[in-house]
Chains A and B, each alone.
Chain A
């Protein structure tokens, strides 16, 4: 199905998430790269050596959740925009996502937006917490959003209200 629609199934998505206990401890990268392609900037960018591809540039990246600090440098570096940071340490009810967002105009902190799933379907409300767009991100802004925990495996994108 994924190869026909580009929409990863829930089973596929869950394999890329660390255990909930780890998410609750603090920020950690979720690397949604499912296909062997010749690409390795995530490994090169990671300052902690937490993402490993290895000798063969075509291998699928593996993220070591015990080493990953959730710093988020990889998020803006991934040419496929396949990486996000999840953080469940802030609240018992919500989880924070940091996702790449390359559309103008950028949202503002405090703004309520529509949370979308991997098929672009509206699934929840989300609150923008922070917008990061430093020169080092090279025009791939990273947006922090707060989302109800129930949508941990569903939320992947957002849309600003018209």
Chain B
């Protein structure tokens, strides 16, 4: 059985930054990535990122992926990236089972593990929600921005959070009509600058609205939407029909971290972090020494915080393995300061509350 010093599961913004950080301290790293390409969600983010210079603000996500992957290269053989490799199990003796290329199945034993597995999309229940033409926003963004495929001609977006409005804007950039953006909440959840970009293109944003049902025989032909009251109950008589061939569902993400639960890490349901998350220290270490978590797997946030958390987890995991750089304290407080800054404003209020509850 192969043995590695530090295993990082996931090569999204958190995993890549964790690898760079740990390798720069001197740790040997193996990264597992289930996709054929590293970068996680970054590879389809064609918009400019928010944040500050430390998190590559105003660079496009897709370019940040390239920058980080190039940086991996600087550490030569100290970082190995294994693609098409899905971690499917995580056992008591720190053995991770891996399915590679959908055919090889083997074990890896790690001295330390950082789980940077990201998130999965939530869905919405309504009649006929299984018709072809009804997608998750992530799928639409992958089709358009990774493969250059139009998902359809006229789209109704469900969800006015950051992903919903950003994907709507990118659909319009691809020349696809966006009929409207709905959200059951009474207020837009996205950063309002993103919402304003759509609004001035003439796309109506309909808050306090939801999908009542999808209509179509072999594929989606129309969607019936209605208004909801303050208890999110449909208001009779407010139905509207949108003739669309794509219904794009963007109603939030949940942390993807079953591997940690399987390993026996103490988990807790934290609504502010959008799901079940591992309890962890300030240094991203779970209740099991040497097992760390970073990025959306520890609670849903922005990619900017995922990168800062990745750097922090990588630094602390390497230190625990005996690779303590001279400037350890300085780097640690720098990453903690970045996270504090990113979470300090009004939009970070939920995250701050969630962090408090999930802290060991």
A contacts, CB < 8 Å to B: 2-8, 32-41, 44-45, 56-58, 77-82, 102-104, 116-121, 138-140, 156-157
Contact = CB atoms under 8 A, between A and B. Distances in A.
B238 interface: no
A104 B172 CA distance: 10
Given A38-B347, A102-B173, A139-B60, A80 B201 contact: no
B205 A44 contact: no
B49 to A, nearest CB: 6
State the majority secondary structure of interface residues on B.
Answer: mixed
Contact of A82 (B49, B173, B193, B304): B193
A79 B47 contact: yes
B346 A58 contact: yes
B347 A37 contact: yes
Contacts of A3: 187-188, 192
B202 A6 contact: no
B345 A6 contact: no
A44 to B, nearest CB: 6
A82 B205 CA distance: 18
Contacts, number: 136
Given A6-B196, A81-B193, 10 more contacts: A5-B207, A6-B205, A33-B193, A56-B344, A57-B344, A58-B341, A58-B346, A82-B196, A117-B200, A157-B200
B348 interface: yes
A82 B60 CA distance: 16
Nearest to B343: A38
Contacts of B153: none
A34 B192 contact: yes
A4 B204 CA distance: 10
Contact of B192 (A35, A57, A138): A35
B199 A80 contact: no
Contact of B341 (A4, A35, A57): A57
B345 A56 contact: yes
A160 B82 CA distance: 47
A102 B174 CA distance: 11
Nearest 10 pairs of A and B residues by beta carbon: A120-B202, A80-B193, A58-B345, A6-B195, A79-B48, A6-B199, A41-B58, A39-B50, A157-B200, A3-B187
